[in-house]
Structure 1
Amino acid sequence: MTTISLAFGIALGLITLLAFLGLPMGVSMICGSLVYLFMRGQDPGIVAEQFLNGMYSNYIMLAVPLFILAAEIMNSGTLSDRLLKWCDALVGRFRGGLAQVNVLQSIVFAGMSGSAVADAAGSGKMMQHMMTKDNKYTPSYAAALTAVTAVIGPIIPPSIPMVLYALVADTSIGYLFLGGVVPGLIMAGFMMVLIAITARVKNFPIEPPVPLRQLPKMTWEALPVLMMPVVLMYGIYGGVTTPTEAAAVAAAYALLVSVIFYRAVKMPELYQSLLTSAKTTASIGMLIAGALVFNYVVTIENIPRTISAILLSWDMDPITFLIVVNILLLLLGCVLEGTTILLVIVPVLIPAAQALGIDMVHFGVVAVVNIMLGLITPPYGLLLFIMTRIAKTPMRALISEVLPFLWVLIGALILFTFVPDTVLWLPKMFGYQGVSL
């Protein structure tokens, strides 16, 4: 078992200090890692060259900006509005129907964006207005529901967090995407059941039913939006495109539908979408760069092997290990940003998971679900901050409404942990040779 060197301790302390002082996490990791390299007498230029040589043939990260751009284009037009009207026609007629619409639109939107933040920001304002109009729902409940339904976004493919996990775990993106479908639908189902129960207890309103004769017309109007997940999934699993190429198809399809078919996006909106996508991509890219160089430092220190040896010495079985990982990631999600956990913490746990014979697709989906739940756990729940600004509601009221949904989603996470086939069934249907616990 190795001991942590003084250089690594100083680097880790510097990263923590800079992050505490408000420097972006990616920049903090780069600064701390450079200090480590200088103290160990290593040339940063040679390290950078090794990274570049290893990434010239790796196109996984290209999927990230393309999925972000697709989501931004979708949000800038009337596509979200058409989607919400179609969802309302389906489930709005039931008690608490608007709350059920919120879940249903998140399921469909999840198949287009791959980002929880994009889902919340895209439909958040519209759902908030629809649910609080005429005091049908309290602002805190509407905001809480929008936050928790946005969690589904990165579980159902496409998924930016799963792309990043595939990068650090060297796992098939296609099978990861498939592995997220059933868990995402189960999470949505759990939420819809809770809403149905709450609607009875709190006597939520019933929306005027949309005549069934109008449903075909509304479906036709929303069909281009509804077809985007189908196009993506057929491209990936039909062997037409790679997942990275599918991300490019998603961006092109969003542009085609928004600009040409619906004519809902003009040049100013398109420019703003490109600008926002570039800023978001730069932010994520800096974090990835910092995580990669810091992971290099962690590897030099043999931290993954050391942690793997420690965990294996506890003589844990795979299920116990997954329970420990769940608790660890849920706690870290309360204080750390999700991408940081995915790029820095998860890679350290992967060797131990592999040594215990845990399937990497199962482990990846469980890890991503944990990290997504971190987006709605205080005090660092990013989606909570977003919806607080949108709804202009106190954080305390928002958290109290989120907690019942959080417990339900943790119950779903326990199901995925103990029953791996909830994740692996669909990938195996497409030929995946998974590992059974």
Structure 2
Amino acid sequence: MSAEFLYCIGTLFLLAGIGAPIAYAILIASFVYLFAAGQSVGVAGKTLMDGLYNSFILLAVPLFIVAANIMNAGTISDRLLNFCVALVGRFRGGLGHVNVVASLIFSGMSGSAVADAAGIGKIIIGMMTRSGHYPPGYAAAITAASATIGPIIPPSIPMVLYALVSGSSIGYLFLGGIVPGLLMGAVLMAMNAMISRRRGFGLEEPVPLSALPGQFFTAFPALLMPAILLYGIYGGVTTPTEAAAVAAAYALLLAALFYRALSLRGLYGILVESARSSAAVGIVIGGALILNYIVASENIPAMMAQVMLGLEIDPLAFLLCVNLILLLLGCLLDATTLILVIIPLFLPTCRELGIDLVHFGVVAVVNCMIGLITPPYGILLFVINGVTRIPLVEIIREVWPFVVVLILALLAMILFPGIVLFLPRLLGYDA
């Protein structure tokens, strides 16, 4: 490991530690390395452009962002929420269950935890606090926890980024996320039920069962989106990137024509906001491409693989250690940085130890999502605090039980790879 690389890493952690945006921290640290190593800044430009031009898959990211924003802007979110209230709102802790089920359903449309939390999450927090049965901190905490499911059930922007750095099949990654996403929903609902009984949260007035078919019919067109996506990819009709375009077009048709809930002015606002969000992700991706070039130049992944193999570490022990590292780093770094910068360091060792990259990828993405609600960084906690003004200290106090059960679900995925690989194997994945 050269002195130039140490300068690079030192600069990165210094800037991140003083609160600089992580994208700028990565870019500046990369330029420090290039200057210290006597390399031309043009290397950064070439690496960046090569990475972008050779990654058609990256087009899926802004398209999924557009689809999520359209879903939030129209009345689609409201219709889905009404269906969820009719379905599970009758049980104790009902609106908490609605929160989780809504995230399970909406995750099939957005692919983004932040989109879920800021969109449908804001609406349901208002419902929970207005009912008078739930403290604001609890409503915000379960919303943040359930939003982590968004990028696990397809479509998933983080899995697109993982496919970019690992070369894994997006289709099999999407399939691998379905059962883990359902498991995460189940443990969150179990914890919500337990807390609701212990703290005596009130019951909501049940929606008559006779109204359930009507609510389902109203929400059915929106519920079709995940099925359309998966059929497009596995039926050989579309590539994953083309499927993202279909998702955006389908969301637009639903909101503008079917539900008639989107104006031209509203669409303009959505496109502007989507461009901003895509640019923010794009800057991080660009910086990560340059930093990954530096890491590869220093031969860091190969060195790590040799060290691990020299220790004769068991694949399961390696997975547990890596996930512990990711959980700790998730307290400080955002998910995009972990996926684009940190996780590629472990991929050569995974290949050497025979660890399946689809299993590793899904587990790593779940781990990164847990990091989104883990203090002190916990970006979802800040997002919900920003859109609801519920004090951050109240959210953090209430979120810990949900963090614990999600970590237990993560441990089950590590110990029992079949949880992740069952559906991919069912549809032809040779793991």
Q: Give the RMSD, CA atoms, in angstroms.
A: 1.4
1:135 aligned to 132, 135, 143, which one? Answer: 132
For the pair 1:176 / 2:173, whether they are aligned, the reply is yes
Question: Which deviations, in whole Å up to 9, do the C-alpha atoms of 1:228-286 show, x marking residues without a partner?
Answer: 11111111111111111000000000100001111111122211111111001001100
1: distance between equivalents of 2:208 and 2:235? 37
Using the TM superposition, name which of 15-24 and 191-200 deviates more.
15-24
1:145 aligned to 142, 146, 154, which one? Answer: 142
Structure 1 runs (4+) greater than 4 angstroms displaced? none
Q: Alpha-carbon deviation of 1:46?
A: 4.5
The residue correspondences of 1:195-206 to structure 2 (distance < 5 A) are 195-206=192-203
2:157 aligned to 135, 160, 176, which one? Answer: 160
Question: Which deviations, in whole Å up to 9, do the C-alpha atoms of 1:88-120 show, x marking residues without a partner?
Answer: 011111111111100100000000000000000
| Alignment-derived partner of residue 284 in structure 1 | 281
**Aligned letter for 1:14?**
T
| Alignment-derived partner of residue 254 in structure 1 | 251
Q: Alpha-carbon deviation of 1:51?
A: 4.8
For the pair 1:43 / 2:24, whether they are aligned, the reply is no
| Alignment-derived partner of residue 333 in structure 1 | 330
For the pair 1:190 / 2:187, whether they are aligned, the reply is yes
Instruction: Report the TM-score, using the length of structure 1 for normalisation.
Output: 0.96
Note if contact 1:162-1:176 (Cα within 8 Å) is conserved in structure 2: yes
2: distance between equivalents of 1:145 and 1:128? 9
CA separation of 1:18 and 1:399: change in aligned 2, threshold 3 A: closer
| Alignment-derived partner of residue 85 in structure 1 | 82
Instruction: Report the TM-score, using the length of structure 2 for normalisation.
Output: 0.97
The residue correspondences of 1:39-78 to structure 2 (distance < 5 A) are 39-46=36-43, 48-53=45-50, 55-78=52-75
1:271 aligned to 268, 275, 278, which one? Answer: 268
2:423 aligned to 402, 422, 426, which one? Answer: 426
Question: Which deviations, in whole Å up to 9, do the C-alpha atoms of 1:277-304 show, x marking residues without a partner?
Answer: 1001001100000001011011111111
Note if contact 1:87-1:105 (Cα within 8 Å) is conserved in structure 2: yes
1:385 aligned to 366, 382, 386, which one? Answer: 382
1:299 aligned to 283, 296, 301, which one? Answer: 296
1:238 aligned to 235, 240, 261, which one? Answer: 235
2:339 aligned to 338, 342, 346, which one? Answer: 342
2: distance between equivalents of 1:120 and 1:50? 34
Q: Alpha-carbon deviation of 1:58?
A: 2.6
Question: Which deviations, in whole Å up to 9, do the C-alpha atoms of 1:146-178 show, x marking residues without a partner?
Answer: 000000000111000000000000100000000
1:16 aligned to 13, 19, 23, which one? Answer: 13
Note if contact 1:179-1:426 (Cα within 8 Å) is conserved in structure 2: yes
2: distance between equivalents of 1:369 and 1:22? 25
Aligned residues: 431
Question: Which deviations, in whole Å up to 9, do the C-alpha atoms of 1:318-345 show, x marking residues without a partner?
Answer: 1000100111000000011111111110
What runs of 5+ residues in structure 2 fail to find an aligned partner? none
Question: Which deviations, in whole Å up to 9, do the C-alpha atoms of 1:410-433 show, x marking residues without a partner?
Answer: 100000000001000100011000
Query: Secondary structure at 2:354's aligned position in 1?
Result: coil
Query: Secondary structure at 1:112's aligned position in 2?
Result: helix
**Aligned letter for 1:324?**
C
For the pair 1:323 / 2:320, whether they are aligned, the reply is yes
Query: Secondary structure at 1:210's aligned position in 2?
Result: coil
2: distance between equivalents of 1:222 and 1:356? 46
For the pair 1:117 / 2:114, whether they are aligned, the reply is yes
Note if contact 2:48-2:286 (Cα within 8 Å) is conserved in structure 1: no
Using the TM superposition, name which of 388-397 and 202-211 deviates more.
388-397
The residue correspondences of 1:337-416 to structure 2 (distance < 5 A) are 337-416=334-413
Using the TM superposition, name which of 323-332 and 396-405 deviates more.
396-405
For the pair 1:103 / 2:100, whether they are aligned, the reply is yes
Query: Secondary structure at 2:152's aligned position in 1?
Result: coil
2: distance between equivalents of 1:218 and 1:226? 12
Note if contact 1:139-1:391 (Cα within 8 Å) is conserved in structure 2: no
Q: Alpha-carbon deviation of 1:199?
A: 2.0
For the pair 1:208 / 2:205, whether they are aligned, the reply is yes
What runs of 5+ residues in structure 1 fail to find an aligned partner? none
1: distance between equivalents of 2:401 and 2:19? 32
**Aligned letter for 2:91?**
F
2: distance between equivalents of 1:238 and 1:299? 36
Query: Secondary structure at 1:358's aligned position in 2?
Result: coil
Note if contact 1:140-1:391 (Cα within 8 Å) is conserved in structure 2: no
1: distance between equivalents of 2:192 and 2:19? 38
Q: Alpha-carbon deviation of 1:53?
A: 4.0
Identical-pair percentage: 55
2:123 aligned to 123, 126, 134, which one? Answer: 126
2: distance between equivalents of 1:54 and 1:188? 36
